[in-house]
Amino acid sequence: AEENAVARGISLLQLMENAGVGAADKLLQVYPQAQHGLMICGKGNNGGDALVMARQLAQSGVKSDILLIMGDQLSALSQTNKDRLPENIPVYLSGSLNNAAYDFVVDAVFGTGFSGCLPRHIEEIFKQINILPIQRFALDIPTGINCDTGEVAENAFMAHHTFAFGAYKPAHLMDKTQSYCGTVHWIDIGI
């Protein structure tokens, strides 16, 4: 579907922009009291969606901190959106969770390309986050879930809301993944 959209003239960068803007708008719709969030980003395009989202939320007065949990070697599209971040959005490569500082967290680590086991450091941070009394959002699919089979890795991210970009994936509709996906919202990204 993305390839067809690109063939019709929309760029992958624009699709990422549409995903991030749509996710930010939906977050504010379902959680209007949002004040300060943590965006946990991987190095691929799922992380890039969250970088767009942080920029969009900042325009609405919502603060975000960025944690690049897989390091700072990002995909080209993600790097473009990292470069577009306002200077007042802090970007970290590591650090401990200050659970008093955040009222929501966004999972944008692996997205739809995940299968297998989570890296140990990601398991550890998700284990902490999954028990915090804060709102948890996942972009496209919670990290740790295979979007096609619904296989769930140990300590997968447990979202209250998942923002499905472009189309629902099989795992969004499976009974065994409902406690991880929470409420699934479809986001039109232009494909």
Q: What is the pLDDT of residue 11?
A: 80
Helix (H) or strand (E) holding 28: helix 12-30
Helix/strand/coil for 163: strand
The closest of 126, 119, 103 to 31, measured between CA atoms, is: 103
Q: Is the pLDDT of residue 46 over 70?
A: yes
pLDDT tens digits, one per residue of 135-163: 999 999 999 999 999 999 999 999 999 99
Spatial distance between the Cα atoms of 98 and 162, rounded to a whole number of angstroms: 23
Helix (H) or strand (E) holding 37: strand 36-41
Burial of residue 30, with CB atoms counted within 10 A of its CB: 0-12 exposed, 13-18 middle, 19 or more buried: middle
pLDDT at 122: 93
Region class of 38: left (phi > 0), else alpha (psi between -120 and 50), else beta: beta
Q: How many CB atoms lie within 10 A of CB 40?
A: 25
- Is it the case that residue 101 has pLDDT exceeding 90? no
The pTM for the full model equals 0.92
Per-residue pLDDT band for 14 (boundaries 50, 70, 90) equals: confident
